[in-house]
Structures are given as C-alpha cells and as structure tokens.
Structure 1
Amino acid sequence: MENIAFEALLALIDDLTDEQRATFIKVLDENKDFDKVATLLDNRILAKRECLYCKSSNVKKWGRQSGLQRMRCFDCGKSFNALTGTPLAHLRKKEEWIKMAAALKDGLTVKDTAEKCNSSISTAFRWRHRFLKAMKGDVAEHLEGITEADETYFLESHKGSRNIPRKSRKRGGKATKRGLSSEQIPVLIARDRTGGIVDAVLPDQSKKSIKVVLGGKISKENILCIDGGNALWGFACEGNIPCRVIPASKHVHERNPIFHIQNVNGYHSRLKNWMSPFNGVATKYLPNYLGWRRMLEKPKPVLTPVAWLQAAAKPARQ
C-alpha cells in the first residue's frame, strides 16, 4: 500500500464506530493468524524443495494460491503446495487452524471447539477428523527392548449413522451381554519402555490380525510381556520372539520387577478415562481417537498448537 493510501486509511479510523473498530481489529487479528499458518506451511516446503510427485529437486516457485506458496516441478510439469496430499488439503479458513490445533491439545468437545474456531458444530467435527487423519497411522516404526502388549475393549458404536442394526443406546449405553462378546471391539496396544506405541483396532482376536499390526515392529531383539492370551502367545511363538507370560497375580510385579505389563495397562486406563467424556465414540472413528491419545502421550514441551498443526499437515499414513 502506498503512503498516501495508508494515510487516508488512518484518517478514516477516527470516524469508525465502536462496533466497526471491533470488526476492524478482528480482521487484523485473523490476518495475523492466517499469515502465521501460511508461513509455517510454506517454510516446510521451501526448505525441502522436492517434487511431491516425482521427487525431483528441479522445482521453482510458481506464484501463490489460496494464500500458500505454489511450486512447480520442471521435470514432471506438476504443481503443488504444502498441503498437497495431506488431510488438510482444500480446507478453508486457515486463520482458524491454530485455534483448532489448540482445541485438540486441550481436548475440547465439539461444541467448545466450534465456539473457539467461530464455526458450526458440523464444521468443527469435520475439521477434528481431518486434523486427526494424519495422526491415525503415525505409530512407532519399531518397538525397542522390553515391550508390553495387551488388548483392551470398547463397546461397538454406530454413533452418527443413519442405519443402525440394533436398538439405539443413549450416550454410549451398556452392552446387552456380560463379558466379551461381538459387541466389544478389541484394540491392541503395544508399548515399550521408551514410550514407543503401536496400536490398532482389530477386526478379530486372531493371531493373523495381531501379526498384521505388530509384524516387523517386534523382533527377536525384543522381550514381549503379555498376559497369556492365545493370539499374542501364538504370534510370539511363530516369530521366535522371546516372551514372558505375566500371570494375573496381585503381587507378581514385586517378584519380577522388570517383566510386567503395568505400563500398557496404565495406558489402557488413561485412554478410557480420557475418552469417557465423549459419551461413546463411533467405532469407525476409533482409530482417529487412538492417534489423538497417542499424540497427547508425547512429552509436554512438544505439545504446542504449532506442533499439532505440523502433525496434521503431514501426508496420512495407512
């Protein structure tokens, strides 16, 4: 803006009403948040300078689009920006993304998130799961040393579905059958002593399903601590993985202070207590919430809204 135009703008400020001044300040603040998000995303792609399609380094700036730096590859001819191929691609209102990241960090409900981000409840819900999509598959590449593994269970939920194959329950409800049944969805969680976590919703309680989740992440170099479940035991035997079966004795950890499953059981407890205020989570979204909780388990210094935004803007891993 030229100096003459800027001075004319300043002269008009004195004539603004209180309501107009508040609107003007709000617009300036939103632009500041937008610039913060755009700079954060642009810096990442400018530092790497690699084509997202053919991995060529022959890329150059190619204007701006939707407030983000656009890049063009002169080998394959395709253009892209920092959000290409990520769950956040094509989402609008980037000025509110830092607030959305802060809402995830604080574990806000959908209603509180909508108020924080100046959006509707449906938009806040959609944003939540777009932000969590990249975190869903962000598990440890491999687990180290002594590793604990155990299943926990969540009541099957069709929350939000139009067609429910049974009578609906209110606010999560209770299972119609006692103990384990087809109404309980198994979730496998494996955790090493360094804090590395691998988790997944299992289609069934079979050795094959566990091998899909833990195969390649646990090896003969590990010592696997389990509670004696047939599927986990069979997985360990098939892979020749050293295994310790921890009996369900009240004071077993006092006799064997190194080999126990208290860490993974503690994680189960924290996960369920944290999910309790959601009054039942739809089974189809359960992997997203596992990724959300996994992110919360990281060291506190890295749990800033910027860190959450950076995690959400990564390509989703299946």
Structure 2
Amino acid sequence: MLHHDFRRFLNALDKLNPAQIEDAQTKIQDLRRKTEAISEIEARTNQEHKCPFCGDERRQKWGRTRTRVQRYRCTGCEKTYSGRTGSAIGRIHRPDLLMEVLRDMLGSPAPQSVRKLAKQLDLNKYTIWRWRMLVFSVIGNSGVAATFSGIIEADETYQRESRKGSREWVRHFADPQNVPQPPRPRWEDFTTQGLKMMRGLSKWQLPILTVADRGGSCLFRRLTDRKGATVERAMKPLVPGDAVLCSDGGNGYKNLAAASGLEHFVVGSKPGTRVTAGCYHIQNVNSLHARYGRFIEPFCGPATKNLNGYIRWLEVRLAGLRPADVVRAS
C-alpha cells in the first residue's frame, strides 16, 4: 500500500461505527497472527544462511511462497527454499494456526483438549493431534540435559498404563491362531468379567522418576520398572559426588549413596518425619508431582506410547519455553 493510501485509510477509521470497529479489530488481530508466524519463520532462516540442499551461503530473494514467507534462490545449486524448507513444519499450510496451538500448549495456564482447541480454531481434531505429535518430536530433540547440584531431592510418581489406539485385542480376536493374546486384559474386562483389579502399585503402574534441586532445576524421566537397580542406574549420572541426596527409604537411593559416598537423608511420609535436620526434605519434588497430576488429568490417561512426549511437554512448560523457540528449533 502506498503511503498516501495508508494515511487515507487511517483517517477513515474515525468515521467507523462501533460494530465496524469490532470487525476491523478482529481483522487486524488475524493479520497480526499471520505476520507473527511469518516473522518467526523468517527469523529462523536469517540465523542460518546456508542452503538446505548444498550448504552454499550465497543466495538471492526469489519472491514469496503461498503463505507469504520469503523465498530464496541458492546461487550454487540454483534451487529455491524458504525458512520452512527441511524443517519439521515445512509442510504445514497454516503456520499462523500452528502458532496458536503452540501458545495453547506452552503459554496458557491450562492447555485445552484436542477437541476444544479444534473447535476454537475451526480445524479438524486430527489436524490438531498431528500438530501436537509434531511438537512432541521437536521439543523431544531440542532438550538440554538438566544439571543438579547442592541438595538434590528425588522420588517417583506413577502413571497408569494405557493402550489407547492399540489394535492388539482387535487383531487377536480377528486371528487368534496367529496373533497371541495381549498380556493385559482390557480395562473394561475388569468389570464385565469380574476380574480383580490390582490395588496399589502393580506392574500396570508406570514409575516416573522426579529429580529437583534447590536451584530450580527439575527432571521427569520414565523408568521401565520400579526396581532399586533401575532407580540407581537412572540417578547415577544425575547426582554429582559433592551433592546431598534427599529421598525416601527406597533401596535404589540407599545403594547409590553407599556406592558414591553421598550424604543421604531419608525422609518419611508421616507427620514429624517429613523434614530432617530442619532443611532436608522432598517437598519440592512433591510439589512437582502435584503439578504433574494437574497437568495430566485433563488428558484422561494418555497412551503409554506417547507418555514421554507429555512428560517432555510439562518440562518445557516449567522451563518457560516460548512458541517462537519451538519454531526456530524445528
């Protein structure tokens, strides 16, 4: 738009009635959302000038893509590319709506379900689901290992095993001769067939190791089982030799402290035993367990195959990762 046309447009705003102002504001918000997504994509290619095909840094502007993203032409191989070429979001046709999904996942106080977010953005729920799995792959590969020091607290929380989306029982019923029976009954079988539900901690409760220190570093890590040797192997690379370990009386923590010569304080769950020597406790870890419970509750038990993605999602929310960081890391 030419400058004098733009000034004429601004002068015409004074003549709008309230309903027209609301319509104009909605339109401007949509344009701002699209512009922000494009600017983040172009910031990604401004950081890395190399051609994604041949690595040559010589390039020239070559028009714009259908989504208004700047396209470049490599001087070396003469191929065209943009900031999305070769990235995880390269084939997404609505980067502006992807930014809205990222804001809901990382910026909102409580992320919405797939169906609610799809209704809000006027998209198919399976599109939102694919984008969420795409974000899982990006944040899973861009994570930096947490480092711990000083007083380190450790404990485990548990998530019930879930096989949402699994077709194993369907395949077994369709071909019982060639497809063996799955190891666990369906959850509905415990009520329809009168099976006894395992109480407390069982092999269907998946342990999630939680580690935190007084400096604010935290980590969630899913374990294969709750054996002491498994906990010891997972904790060994996380705890430096000069740290103080606070935990419950699990054998994995005791063996780790004995083998590494760590100062170890064991705290209990009953009143009067939760704090030792006035400052040694695991209340920070217990707080993380409560936050994990509030975070995972709206998803009604995610499938076990996707549990690592949800754990990493909570970690980046606690770390304050921004939607722009995800776009640039893709």
TM normalised by structure 1 equals 0.74
Instruction: Answer yes or no: is the 8 Å Cα contact 1:199–1:213 preserved in 2.
Output: no
CA distance in 2, matches of 1:84, 1:147: 43
Single out whichever of 189-198 and 69-78 deviates more from structure 2.
Answer: 69-78
- Alpha-carbon offset, residue 62 of structure 1: 6.1
Contact 1:86 1:313 in 2 (8 A): no
- Where does residue 204 of structure 1 map in the other structure? 225
The answer for the alignment partner of 1:133 in structure 2 is 137
Q: Deviations over 1:138-158 (max 9, x none)?
A: 254311221111111111000
C-alpha contact 2:136 2:312 (8 A) present in aligned 1: yes
Q: Distance in 1 between matches of 2:41 and 2:57?
A: 20
- Contact kept in structure 1, 2:155 and 2:210, CA below 8 Å: yes
Asked if residue 310 in structure 1 is aligned to residue 321 in structure 2, the reply is no
Contact kept, 8 Å, 1:131 with 1:313, in 2: the verdict is: no
Identity score, percent: 26
Q: Distance in 1 between matches of 2:33 and 2:76?
A: 35
- Give the counterpart letter for 1:159 in structure 2: K
CA contact (8 A) 1:142 1:216 kept: no
- Cα distance change on mapping 1:244 and 1:169 into 2, 3 Å: same
What corresponds to 1:88 in structure 2? 89
Instruction: Report the counterpart of residue 156 of structure 2 in structure 1.
Output: 151
Task: For residues 242-263 of structure 1, give each alpha carbon's deviation from its aligned partner in whole angstroms, at most 9, with x where no partner exists.
Answer: 3322234422345423211111
- Please tell me whether residue 258 in structure 1 is matched to residue 279 in structure 2: yes
SS in 2 for 1:297: helix
**Aligned-partner residue type, residue 221 of structure 1:** D
2:186 corresponding residue in structure 1: 168
- For structure 2, the 5+ residue unaligned runs are 7-21, 170-181
Give the AA of the match of 1:224: L
Does structure 1 residue 108 correspond to structure 2 residue 112?
Answer: yes
Q: Which amino acid aligns with 2:45?
A: I
C-alpha distance in 1 between matches for 2:117 and 2:294: 20
Decide whether aligned partners of structure 1 residues 188 and 29 sit closer, same or farther in structure 2, where only a CA change above 3 A counts. same
Stretch of structure 1 that moved more, 72-81 or 101-110? 72-81
Distance 1:87 1:58, change over 3 A: closer
Within a 5 Å distance, the mapping from 1:1-318 to structure 2 comes to 30-49=30-49, 58=57, 60=59, 63=62, 65=65, 67-69=68-70, 81-83=82-84, 86-104=87-105, 105-106=107-108, 107-136=111-140, 138=143, 140-164=145-169, 165=182, 166-169=184-187, 176-206=197-227, 209-210=230-231, 213-298=234-319, 307-311=322-326, 313-315=328-330
Question: 1:236 Cα deviation (Å)?
Answer: 3.7
**Equivalent residue of 2:45, what SS?**
helix
Gaps of 5+ in 1: 7-21
Structure label with greater radius of gyration: 2
Q: Residue 84 and residue 149 in structure 1: after superposition, are their counterparts in 2 closer, same or farther (change >3 A)?
A: farther
Q: Go from structure 1 to structure 2 and tell me whether the alpha carbon gap of 1:246 and 1:38 turns closer, same or farther (over 3 Å shift).
A: same
Deviation at 1:80, TM superposition (A): 6.4
The whole-number CA distance in structure 2 between the counterparts of 1:189 and 1:277 is 21
Distance 2:37 2:93 in 1: 12
What is the aligned length? 293
TM-score (ref. length: structure 2): 0.72
Give me the whole-angstrom Cα distance separating, in 1, the residues matched to 2:298 and 2:102: 19
Q: Tell me which of the two structures has the higher relative contact order, counting C-alpha pairs closer than 8 angstroms and 6 or more residues apart.
A: 1
- Conserved in 2, the CA contact under 8 Å of 1:140 and 1:196? no
What is the CA distance between 1:169 and its match in structure 2?
Answer: 3.3
Q: For residues 161 and 227 of structure 1, what CA distance do their matches in structure 2 show?
A: 36
What secondary structure, in the 3-state scheme, does the structure 2 residue paired with 1:310 have?
helix
1:203, distance to aligned residue in structure 2 (A): 1.4
Q: Give 1:136 deviation, angstroms.
A: 3.6
